[in-house]
């Protein structure tokens, strides 16, 4: 497997839960979609950043192999996406900005998830985020895979850590489809062709900023990240609500038009 991909998925990376605890004061967890219950892969709730309330939803991969088994390696089920939908509606009602944190190989894929409407849950969340009247900042903390990542990425400002990636399919999946074989060489080639690394994503205007990898040992990295997020919130809070929505939608329209031109 590609060395960079291994670093993106490493157990040594800071987890979403630890990051949230260090970014916020007085974090209050909020759980459940009001129907099917709690998704163990979702960290969600209200916290204070710079003494201001923020609604946070983040995908928790886990700090060890046992935790990653419980969270399905950071793959949300429909109830996870519906929990986000519920909390985003509350944030809009209270005029509270939203932070989403992404670290997932993709949405959980099993029979029960499909029966529960996985595709519908993601698509409705994408639709809702595109018209929310509060600022949204997204952080790609590690892996951003497929629609499972896109479901939390419709935002005004998108940040990626220096050791992260975002793609519609994993390098392994791409290798299997294109060359019928998964190998380190094919993974390298797949990563290059997918344009999945932060530098490529920034060049294509898919993300707005690349930051140093957050690290509990180097507290200044988390402090800087918090200041960056708060600065983005303040910028977008000052916009007229309709202009906020228009700018968010225009960002994605421009990306789409560019790739239509390529086709």
DSSP letter for each residue of 122-150 = HHHHHHHHHH-SS-EEEEEEEEEEHHHHH
pLDDT for res 187: 85
CA distance 18 to 43: 10
Q: In this predicted structure, what is the pLDDT of residue 137?
A: 98
183 pLDDT band, cuts 50/70/90, is confident
Q: In this model, does residue 255 exceed pLDDT 90? A: no
Q: Residue 260: pLDDT above 70?
A: no
* CATH class of this structure's domain 3-262: alpha beta
Report, as an integer, the average pLDDT of 139-146: 95
In tens, the pLDDT along 68-113 reads: 999 999 999 999 999 999 999 999 999 999 999 999 999 999 999 9
| Nearest by Cα to 39 from 9, 55, 68, 59 | 59
Q: What angle do CA 44, 109, 118 make, to 5 degrees?
A: 60
pLDDT tens digits, 167-180: 999 999 999 999 99
Residue 123 confidence (pLDDT): 96
Taking only the tens place, the pLDDT of each residue in 45-79 is 999 999 999 999 999 998 888 999 999 999 999 99
Please tell me which residue, 157 or 183, carries the higher pLDDT value.
157
Q: Where are the domains of the chain?
A: 3-262
């Amino acid at each position: 497997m590609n060395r960079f991909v291994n670093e993106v998925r490493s157990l040594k990376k800071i987890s979403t839960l630890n990051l949230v605890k260090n970014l916020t004061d007085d974090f209050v967890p909020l759980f459940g979609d009001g129907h099917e219950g709690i998704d163990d892969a979702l960290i969600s709730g209200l916290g204070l950043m710079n003494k201001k309330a923020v609604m946070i939803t983040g995908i928790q991969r886990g700090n060890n192999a046992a935790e990653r088994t419980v969270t399905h390696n950071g793959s949300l089920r429909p109830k996870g996406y519906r929990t986000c939908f519920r909390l985003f509606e509350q944030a809009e009602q209270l005029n509270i900005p939203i932070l989403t944190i992404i670290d997932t190989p993709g949405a959980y894929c099993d029979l029960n998830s499909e029966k529960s409407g996985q595709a519908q849950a993601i698509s409705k969340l994408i639709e809702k985020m595109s018209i929310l009247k509060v600022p949204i900042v997204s952080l790609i903390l590690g892996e951003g895979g497929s629609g499972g990542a896109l479901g939390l990425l419709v935002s005004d400002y998108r940040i990626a850590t220096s050791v992260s990636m975002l793609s519609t399919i994993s390098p392994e999946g791409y290798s299997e489809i294109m060359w019928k074989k998964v190998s380190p060489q094919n993974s390298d080639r797949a990563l290059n062709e997918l344009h999945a690394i932060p530098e490529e994503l920034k060049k294509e205007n898919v993300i707005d900023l690349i930051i140093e990898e957050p690290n509990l040992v180097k507290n200044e990295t988390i402090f800087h990240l918090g200041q960056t997020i708060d600065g983005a919130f303040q910028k977008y809070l000052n916009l007229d609500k309709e202009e906020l929505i228009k700018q968010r939608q225009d960002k994605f329209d421009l990306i789409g038009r560019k790739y239509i031109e390529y086709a």
